[in-house]
Amino acid sequence: MKFELKPTIVRAGVIGGVVAAVVSLVNLIPVLGCLLAPITVLVSFAVPIAVGAYAVMLGRQAGSPMGNLGQDAVDGGLAGIVAGVIAGIASFVIGLARAALQIGVDTSASGDPTRGAAALGIALIIGLCFGIVFILIFGGVFGAVGGAGYSVLKQSQSGAAAGGPPMSPPPPPPTA
> Model-level pTM?
0.75
Dihedral pair phi/psi, residue 141, rounded to 5°: -70, -50
Does position 33 have pLDDT exceeding 70, yes or no?
Answer: yes
pLDDT value of position 127: 73
pLDDT value for 108:
54
According to the model, what pLDDT value does residue 155 have? 83
pLDDT at 116: 64
> Is 86 a residue whose pLDDT tops 60?
yes
- pLDDT interval class at 87 (50, 70, 90): confident
Nearest residue to 94 (alpha-carbon basis) of 41, 23, 45, 37: 23
- Measured CA to CA, the distance from residue 53 to residue 106 in angstroms comes to 45
Average pLDDT over the chain, rounded to an integer: 81
pLDDT of residue 107: 55
Q: What is the pLDDT of residues 14-25, one digit of tens each?
A: 999 999 888 888
Sign of the CA dihedral with 113 first, then 114, 116, and 120 last: positive
pLDDT digit string, tens, across residues 136-164: 888 899 999 999 999 888 888 876 554 45
Q: How confident is the model at residue 103 (pLDDT cuts 50, 70, 90)?
A: low
C-alpha 80/C-alpha 59 separation (Å) is 15
The burial of 114, by beta-carbon neighbours within 10 Å (0-12 exposed, 13-18 middle, 19 or more buried), is given as exposed
Say what the pLDDT of residue 146 is: 93
Half-sphere exposure of 123 (CA within 13 A, CB side): 13
